[in-house]
Amino acid sequence: HRNILNPCVQDLIGEVEGKALLDAGCGEGYLSRFYAKRGAIVTAVDFSKRLVETARKITKEDSLTIEYKVDDICHMESIENEKFDVVLSNLVLLNISCLEDALNEFYRALKRGGYLVFSIVHPAFNFYGPGSWEMGKKDPETGRRDGLFFKVDHYFEEKEYERYWKTREGENFPAPISFFHRTLETYLNSLNKSGFELVDFREPKPPDDSPFFDR
């Protein structure tokens, strides 16, 4: 996030001073706070009441002003038409079943001339989808295994995958997370159907040759 994804998103969004920004699927509000600190007028929505409560608490501790709402990005009842200069949806669309509904809602919420910036995990290299890493032998000194190559099968079979995230101790979280595998074709054509014009598309790479990124 810090080294690859966030800098790319920041570059695409550009200057936000005085702009109305909707963080759609804000989670605990990390990016909402990031852009509020840079002068954006931020409204943030998430389906999880618990995450929104956490976001409000952290935001208050940081003495920031952000309007948080518990709402469904596929049907944002609390969001009025043509209100925002920017809609940001960071690593959210791959976790919802209603892709086209969400894109229609983003389009509705944007002012004329406004723009959407969203990120997903690349569907051809998504560990939580139909692919997996072929791993090398474990390094006895570091305990790490390098990825040799990524195996992808059933790329055109769009479906839901349920995966468990793990704690640092290696235990499964109490409930699985849904990931909806879709092709790039589906994402790009869905944007077009919703009325958007594609102006930039990025596949960000690690910023340097640090060994951390080898695998």
Q: Which is more confident, 91 or 143?
A: 91
Least confident of 13-17, 137-141, 185-189: 137-141
Largest Cα–Cα distance of the chain, in whole Å?
58
- Position 151 pLDDT exceeds 70: yes
CA distance linking residue 30 with residue 33, whole number of Å: 5
**Under a CB-based contact definition with an 8 Å cutoff, are residues 35 and 42 in contact?**
yes
What does the block give as tokens for 131?
A: 């692919």
Residue 157's identity, in one-letter code, is: E
CA 95, distance to chain mean position in Å, is 9
Match 């102006």 to its residue by tokens. Answer: 199
| Per-residue pLDDT reduced to its tens digit, 156-174 | 999 999 988 888 888 998 9
What does the block give as tokens for 80?
A: 């009025």
> Percentage of residues in the chain with pLDDT exceeding 70?
100
Q: How high is the pLDDT of residue 8?
A: 95
**Under a CB-based contact definition with an 8 Å cutoff, are residues 24 and 92 in contact?**
yes
CA distance linking residue 119 with residue 5, whole number of Å: 8
Q: How high is the pLDDT of residue 20?
A: 98
Confidence of residue 117 (pLDDT cuts 50, 70, 90): very high
CA distance linking residue 16 with residue 1, whole number of Å: 20
Q: What is the CA radius of gyration of the chain?
A: 18
> Percentage of residues in the chain with pLDDT exceeding 90?
73
What does the block give as tokens for 91?
A: 């690593």
| Per-residue pLDDT reduced to its tens digit, 40-98 | 999 999 999 999 999 999 999 989 999 999 999 999 999 999 999 999 999 999 999 99
Beta partners for 145? 138
Q: What is the pTM of this model?
A: 0.91
Residue-wise DSSP of 34-55: HHHTTT-EEEEEES-HHHHHHH
What does the block give as tokens for 111?
A: 């002012």
